[in-house]
Amino acid sequence: MKNIKQRFVIAVGGILAALLLPLEVALADPGKEMGCILREQGSLKFVRGDQLDRQTIMKTINAQRLQGAKVIDPCLTGQVNNIPASVYAKLAEKHPEKFQPLENSNQGIVLPEKAATTGAALGIAPQYLHVGILETLTIPPEFLFVSFFPIAITNESRIYGTFFEYLEFEPSFIFNSYAAIFEQGTVNVLQKSKGFFANRANEGGTIGGFVITDLENFFTQAALFDGNEVQLIPRLPGEISSQVILLNDPGVAMILSLDENFNERLALYKNGEVSPLDFGPDISFTTPSGMNNQGIIVGTTFIDGLGFRGFRFDPRTNLTMLLEPLPTEPDSWAMGINNRGNVLGYSFVGGAIERIGVWNAQGKFHTYFVEGTPEFPTISNRLRFNDNNEILITFVTRPVNERNNSYLIPKPGVRLNLADLVVNAPADLALFPSGINNHGNIFGHAGPFFFFHLDYFLLERIGLGGTK
């Protein structure tokens, strides 16, 4: 590949990530949209965070599996969002032979449906105060634009993410990236992290992500930032690109690594050493989705003759357990694991009935809510939860009038429309949550489904009120 061995030298301890790219068409709203870069068929493509639903992901996974892939890129499954659309657009202009054009994201606006809330017998429901994160940003006079993209929330409600400052749009495109924290109404930029892109953060304040080492080919190197310096994670033999995709509180990081033949593989970084991951003979390929503080890893695979199956893997014993669906459904899908050892996911029929719930440590599935039924026709694609098994449902694709809805399951059998719980919600607010901490505080992005203009929010739980 052209210039495959050329690298931008990135020093540990904070460097300027300045891109000098010709600008021919200015973006109408630079820096507000986030996604990731997917490698497919010899080129690079921008994938928006909520562009792919589970049915599309399943079809793509099967195609890649038949081609011999062992690991499915987390960009495909919506687990990473780390590149602004504005940055990708400039790369596509500079290197059209390698980067596919940025596609228009505007799919039309559908106002949220206020119905589809159940569980009135609960009597009371949590109430939330909406805080707009981007509203707190100030633009210094030397910058044209700044933006902050959240990626994680801690139990102290610190929100970690990547901060971008844009110095120039024409004739060149120059920006800096940093790790940053939203705390007590202010975004604090961590100045020693210049050049860093955040994917994950833990309770101790360590942030996992990457730095760019070859911009033209978009090769990266996995890195951690501890608040003082950027630590580059050593490359595996033959590696040309890598990034941190999971990180727990003890500091164990999961690495997605790309070798010189463009095969993706997984590894764990622990105590200064990188070790390749092997899930055993029953897991021919994987889409990892979570790792808790005990180091237990969960994900989804495909078993010939059975279908899609969630799994849990314990690196301490090298034992893998398949997470079976209920007998009424053919497939299961693991979406995450909490520190109680519960695994969140679906027992489902594709495009139809979806049982949302958790598998316990013994692999028994407990249903929390059933959707995809005539009474509750919702088809969702993303789930998040905390250590108290409070579950968020988001990225609804059917029915159309629920596409801007997200839901909270505070306990089994109860599903609440999240927007109904916000006491100061702007009119027609559409909330797409990305995470919930153990106090029930939520962060995510707001804006119409599949629409370009986004904002980011913190929902602070302020007490209980009557159900609406």
For 196-247, the pLDDT digits (tens) are 999 999 999 999 999 999 988 899 999 999 999 999 999 999 999 999 999 9
How far are the Cα atoms of 79, 362, 432 from residue 69, in angstroms, in the given order?
A: 18, 29, 31
Q: Are 254 and 268 in contact (CB under 8 A)?
A: yes
Phi, psi of 191 (to 5 degrees): -60, -25
467 has a pLDDT exceeding 50: no
Residue 110 binned pLDDT confidence (cut-offs 50, 70, 90): very low
Q: What is the pLDDT of residue 3?
A: 37
Owner of token pair 């088809």: 379
Report whether 22 contacts 171 (CB < 8 A): yes
Q: Which residue has the tokens 């969002």?
A: 81
What CA–CA distance (Å, rounded) separates 373 from 256?
37
| 19-78 pLDDT tens trace | 323 222 233 344 467 788 888 767 888 887 655 677 778 887 777 777 777 787 777 777
Higher-confidence position of 93 and 467: 93
Q: What is the pLDDT of residues 254-304, one digit of tens each?
A: 999 999 998 999 999 999 999 999 998 888 889 999 999 999 999 999 999
Overall pTM > 0.75? yes
At residue 348, the pLDDT reads 97
What 137-146 contacts at long range (C-beta under 8 Å, 24+ apart), as own/partner pairs, is 137/187, 140/165, 142/167, 143/167, 144/168, 144/169, 145/30, 145/31, 146/31
Sign of CA dihedral 444, 447, 452, 454: negative
State pLDDT tens for residues 20-31: 232 222 333 444
Cβ contact 241:40 at 8 Å: no
Query: For residues 303 and 282, is the Cβ–Cβ distance under 8 A?
Result: yes
What is the DSSP-derived secondary structure letter of residue 260?
T
Q: What is the pLDDT of residue 41?
A: 66
Query: Residue 427: CB partners within 8 Å, gap ≥ 6?
Result: none
